[in-house]
A and B are shown apart, each in its own frame.
Chain A
Amino acid sequence: MSATTTRPRLHPAGGPLNRRRRPKAEPEGAPLLLGHGRLPKVLASGALIIFAALWLLPFVWAIATSFQQEQDVAKPGLNPIKGALTLEPYRVILERGNVPVWAFNSILIAVLVTVITIAISTLAAYGLSRGTFRGRKLLLALTVSSIMVPPQLLIVPLFQEMLAFNLVDTYWAVILPQVVAPMMVFILKRFFDGIPRELEEAARIDGASDLRVFWSIVLPLSRPIVAAVSVFVFIGAWNNFMWPYIVTNDPALMTLPVGLATVKDAYGVVYAQSMASALLAAAPLIIVFLFFQRRIVKSVATTGLGGT
């Protein structure tokens, strides 16, 4: 880190030395960030590896612990593998049965939240982008300013609302408040604003309805951004803790994050088991990311969040 950004060094301003070797050295798409000597590459690789090691270390420690017998975990030492490897902690967790139920709830809830959010948000974003109905500006202003509202502000009144609707301890109580995603509406609206209207007008002249235009022209053009927004909504719903924690008391309805929080104290000193359940909860999203990471990075760019 410090090697690349914080120590500006005087550099022989692009002496012939630098230019000479350019054509061959760069791997595909290499952005010419590094110089062409050996040293910068070695330093950069070193920094990359150190960071990666630091960031992976907690995982390594947790994974190693999760494959140990509890009595081995209790031995001191810096080597996390303190005895024979075993699947025992995973067997105990899976037999107890809570984690699979919570995983199912998490998947169900995250999928429903994502589908509903995407449906109402894309429609709303399109309406806000193209519509001329009265109150459009007001709705837009309210939506944008609500991005700043800390979710904790809403918890008590939302809980009372759910009591009034008789929804506490149901999937819907967990799902409904999460489908309001003003940030996503805003991102989508900005994207729709950028789509040239000529395409839509041509279709309208051919007699297509607004919904038809939206479905057959606008949405297909927006596939990358919709994918990106879906990814973030899904991650958010999958990881959401506070609201599901407050609105579900029935262990059969809990999501993974909530369920893990309730058994944390019950685990006591069984660290191998708690690491095993943590890793089981972590695995699905990490595996998904493994497969789609290239697309996810791209999709961040397309949301305009990271764009220059």
Chain B
Amino acid sequence: MNINEFIRQVKNGEIDIVKHTQKIIEQCKKINEEHNYFNTISAELALEQAKEIKKLLKSKDKSIKGKKLLGVAVSVKDSICVKNVESTAGSKILKGYEPLFNATVIEKIIGEGGIIIGKTAQDEFGFGSFSVNVGLGFKIPKNPIDKERTCGGSSGGAAGLAKAADFPHIALGESTGGSIAEPASFCDVFGLCPTYGRNSRYGLIDFGNSLDKIGPVGKTCYETALLQEVIEGYDRNDSTSLNAKNGNYNTFLKKSLKGMKIGIIKESFGEGVAPEVEKNVRKGIDKMKEEGIKAEEISLEMPIKYGLAVYYMIATSEASTNLAKYCGMRYGAIEKLEGSFNEYFTKVRSSSFGAEAKRRIIMGTFARMSGFRDAYYIKAAKVRTLIINEYKKTFKKFDALASPAVPVLPPKFSDIEKMSPLQNYMLDIMLVSPNVAGLPHLSVPVGYEKGLPVGMLLTGDHLQEGKLLQLGNVFEGN
């Protein structure tokens, strides 16, 4: 059912929202048995919200009329705090942590009548592209189209559920270096990573503070735009929140593409890119051409050549400082208080962080240590400036840039095991630079090959999410 039709039926009582919510919670449990998309299903909160909506409807409360998400199920990446619901960011070190407050985006969703159904699976703290780096004791989510393959990461549970759920549902993901667009492309759904600062990060369990963005993942471009519209806006609780005008995406979704200029990133095709991926992305570009865009090949030197190195230096540096606060006190995992400060903290951290978390903490600590800081961390921050400058120059000429989201089809778990960490990182080549530059980007499903989905990446200038959704909307119902 179309989401607007669903909301209409909830409003006029044709759908009993409590019964509906009970039903979808059961469906979520069933989907989860097979695919592991949830770390926690928040049945209690969801039913409580549904009952509240029913009560307001019954009392003919006027405020209910304008609610943009009334009764719509929203799943939340585990790294985003939901009050009184276990929020672990997929890490053993936060096992048992039930936040005392809601993230700003959650407050907004609940305020618009969205029903929080649970916390979705992810790589520990977002450290990965396949959701296989889940924390100790967590389950790995599986691709909704082929269970032997990854659903991508780190917002893997979000994208998998967006595809698998056959009830009205939109997922909330988070991207630091591609963690929305990549799983969206592997699961045949839309994933929008907004401009850095567009959506409040208050209540997000940090990975890299200058890189983290919360964003929507949906089955359709419309639903993706709808959730983005609900969650965006300035927040005084987030010092890097942008004081920008809201996107007004509905008007963009109705606009024709005539006259839009798209730059096709030359380096994103050819060597290292699976021919099946290239073929479908080119088909996607042709489709936009039929709708009236003008396309031109362009070259992006700095972002392609150095984006990955810049990203991993900055992301690991920031992650290593963020993760310093997890030490078995105050909240999350604790152990028996024994030994000195250092002995206790080291014991808790060593037994609670997974392998990739340890690797990244070490890499980031190294990059920030005196003697290495200038050569690695500061150098990366300077090259980051050059990357941003090159994009800014490019966007003087183009409305958006197009490339494959990921150079390969969703890999099998058995093949992922054989990759070294660096080989794994290399697959993020198209995704890290827009993240480094804080640019909005949208993964759009453009086709299937060998029964597997291919995603096209559209990247725009700061605060130009509207144009990306306008372009993406052509692929609605693809």
A and B associate: no
Q: Which residues of A contact B (CB under 8 A)?
A: none
